[in-house]
Chain A
Amino acid sequence: MADIDVAGGDSGHKKGPGVKKAKKLSTRVDMTPMVDLGFLLITFFIFTTTMSTPAMMKLYMPKDEKDPKDLTEIKESGALTIMLGKGNGIYFYEGQIKADGSNFQSSTYKDIRDEIIKKKKEVIAAHYHTPACEPLQKTAQEKGDPDWKNACKDKDFVVVIKPNKESTYKNAVDILDEMTINRVQRFALIDITDDENMLIKATEQRNGVK
């Protein structure tokens, strides 16, 4: 491919006497340095550039309400509280925490999804129609949701996320992402209480989390 035919069209042409035949030089070029250069540039580009553009994850926080009247009330039966602790520890309880902490359970970032799904199903199964549902169904219908009749069913399902001081940013983002994955419509990111923190500390000590 790289050879260029220099012989010309009529190579059989006879030259006159005394005309010396020019020595044919090979036109083959050694391509190896060029390959070297090519791959050098490729490696340069691979190292200096970014391939995937990062994504943006939405996070909407509520206003800090001072007046207890303005606080959103949630049903105990529909609440799932997830707490994040040290060393990727994750803990949860359903409804309200019992005084003896007997409904306080530990989990992992892999298993928490099943817990969320389970709880969501429970809430949906326990749902019965109330007039309060109609506006929710209506907005879903207006948005063009084909499944608008079920739009209200998980309205009582609320996940409360409470990261403690020793959890990491990644933990918080992971659990927020889990809300998107499981389509949890209502969730809140709030501070952990001292009682819950003590329960986490006790569990960490028992399990030897460092």
Chain B
Amino acid sequence: MNLNTKILQNMPSVKLPKKSTATDMTPFVDVAFLILSFFMLATKFKPPEPLEITTPYSVSSDKLKEEDAVRIEFDSSGRIYFNVTVKNETQDNGLKLELIKQVNSNRNLGLTNAEMISFQNYPTVGSPFSQLKSLLSMSRDQRDKVKQSGVPVDSVNNELATWIGAAKVAFQGHKVFYMIKGDNNASYPTFKGVIDALKKNDEYKYKLITDPKAVPPGTDLYNKPNTIKGD
């Protein structure tokens, strides 16, 4: 070190013009806010999800829409959640209350009004009927935090079929979509249990929620895609 500084001191001083290292950040700011505004406009907030689900890919191109729908979700460990969405939130909000009233009377659950309204506000359930009362008495945040065991679908006690049946009654006169959202690693019997519960209610048309992927080139669908949308 010492040696170095000595050499430097002894050197004839060549004065370099001092250049400022401060760069103009303005274009940088422009870019940053441009990207920011793009993200704000082009994206939607993730809806809160009680279950961690990674959906499989499919070549389907039908976009997921807001519909009157019964959504059945299951995660990799096979826990099944029942969920309903209504298209016209202000007009049809009562349908959800109707649904829980149906379930309440079908299974003699003895839910209070407040508990039923709790369902109306947040119609996602992943518990058997025996635990439904205590689940619905919690606040929304608490319900998200508590680990629910899933709606049973076994053949002796198919509670999911009861839920779907109640939804069918409540949504009478509406076109209801049956959406199934499953995790990649969920076992096939879970999926089969869901389908069987739907079949018990004479529902045979489902929509599986998947992530879109491109059609592989050279296949029949790639060569002749025009009929994919036909029912």
Which residues in A have some Cβ–Cβ distance to B below 8 Å? 1-2, 30-32, 34-35, 38-39, 41-42, 45-46, 48-64, 84, 113, 117, 120, 143, 145, 147, 163-174, 176-177, 180-183, 191
Residues of B within 8 A of A177 (CB): 56-60, 210
B188 in contact with A54 (CB, 8 Å): no
Chain B residues near A35 (CB-CB < 8 A): 25, 28-29, 32
Chain A residues with Cβ below 8 Å from B219 are: 113, 117, 181-182
Which of these, A39, A51, A55, A57, contacts B32 with CB under 8 Å? A39
Measured CA separation A62–B210 after assembly (Å) = 22
Sample of 15 more A-B contacts, CB < 8 Å, known A2-B24, A54-B211, A182-B219: A1-B26, A35-B28, A35-B32, A49-B44, A49-B45, A49-B46, A53-B64, A58-B207, A61-B205, A143-B230, A165-B187, A165-B188, A169-B182, A169-B190, A180-B221
Q: Can you list 29 A-B contacts (CB < 8 A)?
A: A1-B24, A2-B24, A31-B25, A31-B28, A41-B36, A42-B36, A45-B40, A53-B44, A53-B63, A57-B60, A58-B208, A60-B204, A63-B202, A120-B220, A143-B227, A145-B226, A163-B188, A165-B188, A165-B189, A166-B188, A168-B186, A169-B185, A169-B191, A171-B188, A173-B182, A177-B60, A182-B219, A183-B221, A183-B227
B159 lies within 8 A of chain A by Cβ: no
Number of cross-chain contacts by CB at 8 Å? 187
Measured between beta carbons, the chain A residues less than 8 angstroms from B26 are 1-2, 31
B111 at interface, CB cutoff 8 A: no
4 smallest CB-CB distances across A and B, nearest first, come from A31-B25, A38-B32, A49-B43, A170-B184
Across the interface, name the chain A residue whose C-beta is closest to B228: A180
Q: List B residues 175-212 near A (Cβ within 8 Å).
A: 179-180, 182-192, 195, 198-199, 202, 204-212
A56–B190 Cα gap in the complex (Å)?
19
- Given A50-B44, A52-B211, A169-B186, verify A64-B199 contact (CB < 8 Å): yes
* Cross-chain contact A168 with B185 (CB below 8 angstroms): yes
Given contacts A164-B188, A170-B56, contact A61 B227 (CB under 8 A): no
Please measure, in the bound complex, the distance between the C-alpha atom of A168 and the C-alpha atom of B215, giving whole angstroms: 22
Q: Is B109 in the interface zone, CB < 8 Å from A?
A: no
Q: How far is the CB of B15 from chain A (nearest CB, A)?
A: 25
B residues less than 8 Å from A52 (CB atoms):
211-212
Provide the residues of chain A in CB contact with B221, threshold 8 Å.
Answer: 180-183
**Are the CB atoms of A55 and B64 closer together than 8 Å?**
yes
A177 to B208, CA, bound (A): 11
Query: A159–B56 Cα gap in the complex (Å)?
Result: 21
Which of B58, B224, B231 contacts A57, CB < 8 Å? B58
Q: Could you tell me if A50 and B46 are in contact, using CB atoms closer than 8 angstroms?
A: yes
Contact between A56 and B64 (Cβ–Cβ < 8 Å)?
A: yes
Q: Which of B22-57 contact A (CB under 8 A)?
A: 22, 24-29, 32-33, 35-36, 39-40, 42-46, 55-57
Most chain A CB neighbours (cut-off 10 Å) among B32, B182, B195, B207: B32
Contact of A42 among B35, B55, B57, B205 (CB under 8 A): B35
